[in-house]
Amino acid sequence: MVAPRLTTKALRLPTSKLLRPALTTATPRAAPTLTQKRHLTGPYGYHQSKALTFSSFGEPIDVLSLHTHSISPTLPSGSVLVRTLAAPVNPADVNTIQGTYGSKPPFTTLLGTAQPSAVPGNEACFEVLSVGQGVKGLEKGDWVIPAKTGFGTFRTHALVEEAEGKLMRVEREGLTPVQVATVSVNPCSAYRMLKDYVDLVGLSMRWYREGKDVSGGAWFLQNGANSGVGRAAVQFGRLWGLRSINVVRERETPEETEKLKEELTGLGANVVLTEQEFLDRSFRDRLGELTKGGKEPLLLGMNCVGGKSASAVVKALSPKGCMVTYGGMSRQSFPFPTGPQIFKRLRFEGFWLSEWGKENPEGKKKMIEDILNLMREGKFKESPVQEVEWNWETEEKTLKEAVQGTLGGFRSGKGVFVFGET
């Protein structure tokens, strides 16, 4: 847990003219250096912080509140004080607030809230403001990310106890705060699913070693291909010599749908289909052409939709294939079909990055370093974002609406809090 050290009463600063943050779609920008920021402090050097908190489960717009508290300038041994630079809002964060996620956060009064509360948010890029005695691996000015999920990132500052076990230092050169803040969930999920369930790279290499008449690397199929995970999978597939079949929802107009297809093709997608095209009977013939009648089998399907789309993934898989489910965006149930399990000998797996990270902390660190290096080299592009500016004077309503909107309709990008004058 991230446990700020509190005074018995939160200290407030005089308010000034309100600045309403704008919701924008923009290229992520690098954060100013520490000397360019005004850090709000109260009497005796106590640091002022704000956090979105919730004390009961429900819709974000109904249960979130913006809480102000103070952090002592005297840091406990082994602790660091960090300032948040950027924090994305993921669907899992909203599900956590709703109480429907696979794990529940602990509710405490450590922030001085009237009721036991929790801070949502799993991803962020932080800047270290100061370090306590006993901290050897971190120093002022370092960029860090949470080493584990459940950190509680929707806040301006945090006092992190046992910091070297809870934070992962990131080499900031050549990266923006938004790139760093968004690396540890979606890209990592795609990375692991492409590597851990079917050895697609090994299969591709074996084809070429054996001199088989193939037209490319091994195939994989995914629905929800426009998601952060989907876009990452497309790019990893391109980098690793794989071929991808990608399913997306139709947009409001044919022109918008075609633009999306072109965008994913530009990232490295080999085939992009709408859900309607994927569910149509004609797709079976097209799949036969792509896989040369099964000679280039489709052995991995990645499912984040469920319902009819998931059933179509099962039908598309070649014998001995594997479907990995990591989400259920349609909220439609998916029965495990008996026939394909027996006669096609299919495997059905579930993937939860949080648990994988707990079991493989060193592997997670190396994976993140690998992905960030690809970003520095310009070989991997982060997903589009909608920046929501969070300053000290930002209104609670603006922040709550940004979280609530995460699961709504077609969006031009992932919502990301970008912190300014805090």
pLDDT recorded at residue 1: 44
- Rounded CA-CA distance 95/102 in Å is 9
β-strand 219-222 against 298-303: which pairing, if any?
Answer: parallel
State residue 314 phi and psi, 5-degree precision: -60, -45
One-character DSSP codes across 29-51: -PPPPGGGS---B-GGGPEEEEE
Is 5:110 a contact under the CB 8 Å cutoff?
Answer: no
- Rounded CA-CA distance 276/279 in Å is 5
Neighbouring C-beta atoms of residue 381, cutoff 10 Å:
14
- Rounded CA-CA distance 245/303 in Å is 12
- Rounded CA-CA distance 214/205 in Å is 11
Residue carrying the six token digits 């289909």: 273
One-character DSSP codes across 312-351: HHHHHSPTT-EEEE---TT-B-----HHHHHHS--EEEE-
pLDDT recorded at residue 120: 97
pLDDT recorded at residue 340: 83
pLDDT recorded at residue 75: 94
Tokens of 275: 């859900």
Q: How much of the chain is in helix, strand and coil states, percent to nearest 5?
A: 35, 20, 45
Neighbouring C-beta atoms of residue 269, cutoff 10 Å:
26
pLDDT recorded at residue 42: 60
pLDDT recorded at residue 218: 97
pLDDT recorded at residue 8: 35
pLDDT recorded at residue 28: 46
Counting as low any pLDDT under 50, the low residues of the chain are 1-36, 38
State residue 281 phi and psi, 5-degree precision: -60, -25
Active site residues: 101
pLDDT recorded at residue 16: 33
pLDDT recorded at residue 211: 84
pLDDT recorded at residue 143: 98
pLDDT recorded at residue 328: 86
- Rounded CA-CA distance 360/364 in Å is 6
pLDDT recorded at residue 10: 36
Is 147:354 a contact under the CB 8 Å cutoff?
Answer: no
Nearest to 185 by CA among 225, 158, 145: 145
